[in-house]
Each structure stands twice: as C-alpha cells, then as structure tokens.
A and B are shown apart, each in its own frame.
Chain A
Amino acid sequence: MLLIPCPWCGPRDEAEFGYGGQAHVPYPEDPTALTDEEWARYLFFRNNPKGPHPERWCHAAGCRRWFNAVRNTATNEILAVYRVGEPRPVIV
C-alpha cells in the first residue's frame, strides 16, 4: 500500500486516490487538423519509463482535487507532488 502525499491534505492511504495516467499531455491546439495517426498518438501513446514518471492523481475520497505526482515506476517512491498549474519540479 502506498502512502501518497496529497498537496492539500497531506499523506493519505493509496485507497483514497484515483489514478489519471501520464501528466502534461496537452490537448491538441487544433484537433481537426490532426491525422488519424496523430490523433491516435495523442489518445493512446504514453511514456513507459523505468524511473521517474509524472502522473495525474485525484484524491477521490478526500478533497477530490486532481494533482500531479512524480513517481518512480521501479520503486513506487513518490518523488514530488505539485498542484495543478504548478510547474513540474526538477528531479535530480
């Protein structure tokens, strides 16, 4: 079980959170101009790193806010959490 630090509520049990996939995937500026392949890449293609990965999480059973977390996919260590609109912290 992970202990995830909500940027509003502090450390909470993983069961209180929903997972929202990779963070910082921008909506296409002009969706109608995309080819089928570009649209498919936007919808379905995600990074799959072994190591730090910026992700969206929602504190579903708590404050119900979405936020971003950088999680090490190999160790499950949460390296940083930050609120929506805040820049992605530099992980060294």
Chain B
Amino acid sequence: MAEHIARHSPLGGFAARFAAATRGSGGAVRLAELPYPAQINVRLDPKGPAADAVRLALGIALPVEPNTAVRGGGLAALWLGPDEWLVVGPAGTAGDLESRLRGAVGAYHAAVTDVSAQRSTLLVSGPRSRDLLSHGIALDLHPRSFGAGRCAQTMLARAQVILTARDERGPGFWVLVRSSFAGYLAQWLLDASSEYTAPGYAAQGCSASQ
C-alpha cells in the first residue's frame, strides 16, 4: 500500500534547462514553470445573478469582453468564452477557491470545476519574449494589440494554449498548456530560444533595450 504519493509536474525535469536558457540569453528571455497554480473553470450566464455572486466572492469581476483577463487579490479571471472563464489562484488554494465559488453560485444555474491538473503553466518573460513566442504563434503580440489585460486561446507551435500578458512592467506572458503537451512545448521553447541563448548573444548586447 502506498504511504505517500509524490506529486510530479510535467515540467519538473526542465528547471535546469530553463535556468540555463535564461542565463545564456543574459536575461533576454526568461523561461520558468509556475508549478501547480489553482485553476477553476467557471461557466455561468454573465447577465445572471451568479455573475454578481462570483464578483462579490472573488473581489474581481469575470470579464465580459472577449480575450481579456481581470486580476486582483492574487487571482486572475481569464475569459475563455461568452459563458466560460478560468479563475487562476496561487498554488495550494484550489480546494478553497472551488468552495468559495461553489458557495457563491449556490443554487444558481452555473458550473464550477477544479481543472488544476489539466494544464501546466509556463512563464515566458524578458525583452525578447514576444519574439520568442512569435516564432510559433500567429497573433500580433505587440503591446498595442496584446498588452496587459489581454488573453487568448490559440495555437503555439501547433499546441493549444491559453496565453495571457502579465500586468507587470516589461514584456512577460503566462502560457497555460495541457499537461500532456507541456513537455513538447517546453522542448519547443528551448529550441526556439536558441538564437537568443547562443554563445556570445548576451555579450553582443543584443538583449539590451527593446
């Protein structure tokens, strides 16, 4: 009988290679995993009473504008569809977040589902992060069309992802990818970042500015 079941992230084995790529680029691209964020899928009518109840419970509103995200209080609500959102919170809070949401929607017509294990989360940041992602993504990632507060479900290197721009200063993105595709996408990102991590790249000053 198993006494202890260790939890393994699909990207756990990539930490050293992510760190090496980050160092090799002189910080031009930074790759890291954000392990185990809480992810709750919420479906409800945005015009109904359940939407108000969720806003009061979370302290942030579920965004109604397509392809946008709302952040606050350590949470992010990502628009997935006209009646569907992904609420992302800190690691270890999935149970609590799910109960808060379930309590809020009560008997209203809504669905609250813990999908934390469905996707792995990558942080892609740094001055060259837009260029790196643009090798495999068809969206215009320029800040004027994909700045803070934007999110999108799209294909990155033929893998379906949820992409969202961070609110912090400087370019940076969360890439949420299905856990079964996470290893592939990590390999792809490391390969695509090779032009920014080549020996001498950082020394040439290519990573400066932008």
Which residues does A use to contact B, with CB under 8 Å?
A: 8-10, 12-13, 15-16, 61-65
Contact = CB atoms under 8 A, between A and B. Distances in A.
Given A12-B138, A61-B154, A63-B82, 9 more contacts: A8-B66, A8-B81, A8-B82, A9-B66, A10-B67, A13-B154, A61-B160, A63-B84, A63-B153
A63 B65 CA distance: 12
Interface residues of B, number: 13
B152 interface: yes
A81 to B, nearest CB: 13
Interface in B67-105: 67, 80-82, 84
Contact of B81 (A12, A16, A61, A65): A65
Interface of B: 66-67, 80-82, 84, 138, 152-155, 158, 160
B138 A13 contact: yes
Contacts of A61: 153-155, 160
Contact of A12 (B82, B84, B154): B154
A15 B66 CA distance: 20
A62 B152 contact: yes
Nearest to A13: B138
